[in-house]
Amino acid sequence: MMDNTKSYQLFQKAKEIMPGGITANIKNFSPYPIFMRSGKGAYLTDVDNNEYIDYLLSYSALMLGHGHPKIKDTIENHVQEFGTWLYGTPSEIEIEFGKMIQHYYPSIELLRYTNSGTEATLLAIRLAFAYTGKHKIAKFEGHYHGGHRQVLFSIAPPMSEAGDVTHPNTVPNSKELASKDQEQTIILPFNDLEHAEEILKANQDQIAALVMEPIQDGFLPVDQSFINGIRQITQKLGIVLIFDEVKTGFRVSMGGAQSLYNIEPDLTTLGKTIGGGFPIGVVGGKKDILMQSAPANHQSDWKAMDTLFHSGTYNGHPLILAAGMTTVKILEQEINDVFKRADVLKKELEKLFFEKGIAMQAMGIGSMFNIILTDQPLSNYRDFMLSDIELRKRIDLYLLDEGIYVKPGNRYSLSTMHGEQEIEKTLDAYKKVLSKTLVSTS
C-alpha cells in the first residue's frame, strides 16, 4: 500500500490556509486529496514520491500530457522573441489563433477570449440575454457549465429531490442560491425530445438560451435525432442554442461534438484543451450575437447600456494563445493515434470486467471515456445514478495504490503521451484491483 503521509500532513496544513484545505472543491475527495509535486508525460509524482499514470489530466485539459517539450519551447521562444508575456493591448496572435479556431468550428463567425470555461459559459449566457431581451435559461439535468449562479442547478441532484423524470425539478447545487435564482433556470430531461420540447414551448417567451453539453460530462452521448430536434425547436422558438464544448472541444474530434453530429449551434464555448495546460476560454458564434459586446466607436450619442460589457486583463493572453496554437498543431498530427489507444484501453477493460463477472461499460467518444458499472442502457443522468457508483469509487481508490490516478468516480482522459506501455501497466493494475475488489465485496 502506498505511503501518503506527506499528502495527509499537507492537507492538515492547507486547512489552516484555505477553507476545507482546498481552493477548488472539485479537487477534493475522501479521505483526503493527494498533493502532487511534479509531472512528466503521462505521469504524475506526488509529495511522497509515488508515481502515477495520470488519467485525470487536469480534468482533460492536458491533451499533450505534462511538460510537453514543444509547449516548453513555445513559451521560451515567445518570451525570447517578444520580451514580455503580457501587453494589455490587442496583439496579432489573437487573430491568428482565432482563425485556427474558426477553421475547425465554422459555426464561429466571431469570437471572444476569456480565462476559463466558467467565464466562457457566463459570457455566452449574457450575450444571449442581450441579444434576445429575455433573461431565463434552460439547461439539462446532469449537465455542468461552470460555477456561476444561473447554471448551478441540477448538476447532480439527489433522486429524492429531482422530481419527475420528464419534468425535472430545479435543484440548487450551491448554498448561496436564492429562490429568485431558481426561478431563472429551467431544467430539461436529456435525450427526451418530446418533454424537452413541451417545456421549451411553455416557456419560450422567457427563455433566452438553452445551454447544453452535446456529450454529457464528456462521455454520455446525445442521440442524433434528439440533437437534430433541439436545433430545430430552438430556431423555431427564438432561443439561442449554446453548445458547451469546454470538455469536448478538440477531445472527441478536432471540431468537437458539433462536427460529429453535424449541428451548428448559435454559440459555442471552448476551454481546457485549447490552452495547452494554461487558463483559457473562448466564446464564439453568430456575428449578430457576438456584436452585442462590440465597443462603440466614439459615437456621440453612445450610452453604456448600448453595449454588453465584457473585459478582462488577461483575455487573449498572448503566451497562452501561443501554447494553444502549438497544441492544436500537434493534435492535427497525433489526435487519431490518441483515439486508437483510447479504443484499445476501453475494449480491454470491458473484457477484464466481463471475465470477473462485473457489469461495466466503457462509455465515451474519442480521447475520453468513463467506466460505468452497469449493463443497462444509459441515456441520461438518472440512468447513470442507477449504476454502482460506490463500487466504482472503491475500485479507483485501490487503483491509486497501483499507480493509476483518476479522481475517484471521474472520467478518463488520454493524452498524446499515453502509449502502449502505459496501457499495459493500466491493464495489469486493473487485473490486481478487480481481484481485490471481488474479495472485498464477497
Residue 349 contacts residue 430 (beta carbons within 8 Å): yes
Catalytic, 314? Answer no
Catalytic, 144? Answer yes
Residue 150 contacts residue 137 (beta carbons within 8 Å): yes
Give me the catalytic one of 32, 144, 261, 430: 144
Q: What is the pLDDT of residue 147?
A: 93
Give ranges for CATH 3.90.1150.10 in the chain. Answer: 5-68+335-441
DSSP assigned state of 376: S
Instruction: Answer whether residue 440 shows pLDDT above 90.
Output: no
The β-bridge relationship of strands 185-188 and 136-140 is: parallel
CATH classification number, 87-316, choose in 3.40.640.10, 3.30.70.100, 3.40.50.720, 1.20.140.10? 3.40.640.10
Q: What is the pLDDT of residue 300?
A: 65
% the chain with pLDDT above 70: 97
Query: Half-sphere exposure of residue 8, counting CA atoms within 13 Å on the CB side?
Result: 5
Instruction: Name the more confident of 209 and 300.
Output: 209
Q: Exposed, middle or buried by CB within 10 Å (0-12, 13-18, 19+), for 55? A: buried
Q: What is the pLDDT of residue 123?
A: 98
Give ranges for CATH 3.40.640.10 in the chain. Answer: 87-316
pLDDT digits (tens, 9 = 90+) for 361-406: 999 999 999 999 999 999 999 999 999 999 999 999 999 999 999 9
Q: What is the pLDDT of residue 303?
A: 75
pLDDT band for 442, please (50, 70, 90 cuts).
very low
Average pLDDT, the chain: 95
Give me the catalytic one of 134, 139, 247, 272: 272
Q: What is the spatial distance between Cα 237 and Cα 207, in angstroms, rounded to a whole number?
A: 9
Give me the catalytic one of 244, 266, 383, 396: 244
Q: What is the pLDDT of residue 298?
A: 60
Q: Lowest mean pLDDT: which of 161-175, 246-260, 298-312, 331-345?
A: 298-312
What CATH number belongs to 5-68+335-441? Answer: 3.90.1150.10
Catalytic, 432? Answer no
